[in-house]
Amino acid sequence: MSSTESLLSVAGLEVAYGRTAAVQGIDLVVGEGQVVSLIGANGAGKTTTLRALSGMMRPRAGRIVFAGADIAGLPAHRVAALGMRHVPEGRQIFAELTVDENLAMGAWLESDGAEIARRREQVLERFPRLRERLTQAAGTLSGGEQQMLALGRALMGAPRLLLLDEPSMGLAPLFVEEIFGIIEGLKREGVTILLVEQNASAALEVADTAYVLEGGRIALSGPALKVAHDPAVMAAYLGG
């Protein structure tokens, strides 16, 4: 895939916590409409990569080109304005706001009331459970419902690129299945997704392209099907 049709292209990205380097020079491309999975062990630098992409952390070096603009080092709110939506690790919903207020904050950058109402209706159709809980404080939702709210909140921003950090973490198997079903659905609708997952088999199944991170570097990349059949990947991440 040529870089002209890529929505996101990352080159030589380095990110550090103080003096500890967490990401040590990675290159990564996400094409429009693609689902790209980033897999790897705990501490491989997956979450840090997403945080640098969305502006939650300043990278130490490297280029991040998103929708034609160099966004490396921009604050999160300006990256969001370009159409990137990051559903962070641990969901980070606003626990003290109601479900409806959380959704409204997802559409903060949209000023057209009719458009906001339309998106809200779409999100509530996708997550009917949220409709029953609109006036409830978000902190009272179950873990699975909170993940749906976090996803719904991100979709309220009509993202061009959705970054998902461990959407299945800590969820009951039934919810995990539901979350991956939703990701499949979004993919069919043409939403571009960069997915970070511990659940490597599910992540590889849904993805077009996959990257394997090890110690802050890319150990392997390619079409997801090919990565899934790599012997080393099978041994390390897919349980043999």
The stretch near another protein (CB under 8 A) out of 12-20, 59-67, 81-89, 215-223 is 81-89
50 Cβ contact list (under 8 Å, min separation 6): 38, 86, 88, 163, 165, 194, 196
Minimal distance in Å, beta carbon 53 to another protein? 11
Closest CA to 167 of 15, 13, 9, 37: 37
The stretch near another protein (CB under 8 A) out of 49-57, 192-200, 201-209, 229-237 is 49-57
Distance CA 55, CA 78 (A): 8
The stretch near another protein (CB under 8 A) out of 79-87, 175-183, 191-199, 204-212 is 79-87
Minimal distance in Å, beta carbon 111 to another protein? 9
**Range 60-76 burial, b when 16+ CB lie within 10 A, else e:** bebebbbeeeebbebee
# binding residues, another protein (CB under 8 A): 26
Tell me whether residue 16 or residue 137 sits nearer to another protein (CB atom): 137
Residues in the chain: 240
Six token digits for residue 140: 């009272």
Minimal distance in Å, beta carbon 231 to another protein? 38
Identify the residue among 5, 12, 70, 75 touching another protein (CB under 8 A). Answer: 75
64 Cβ contact list (under 8 Å, min separation 6): 8, 9, 10, 13, 52, 53, 70, 71, 72
Q: If binding is defined by CB under 8 A, does position 73 make contact with another protein?
A: no
Mask 133-172, x = binds another protein (CB under 8 A)?
----x---------------x---x---------------
Q: What phi and psi, each to the nearest 5 degrees, are found at residue 10?
A: -120, 135
Is 101:94 a contact under the CB 8 Å cutoff?
yes
Tell me whether residue 26 or residue 53 sits nearer to another protein (CB atom): 53
Q: If binding is defined by CB under 8 A, does position 54 make contact with another protein?
A: yes
Tell me whether residue 46 or residue 85 sits nearer to another protein (CB atom): 85
- Which residues, listed in sequence order, are joined to residue 61 by a DSSP beta bridge? 14
Binding site for another protein (CB under 8 A): 54-56, 75-77, 80-81, 85-86, 88, 92-97, 101, 104-106, 108-109, 137, 153, 157
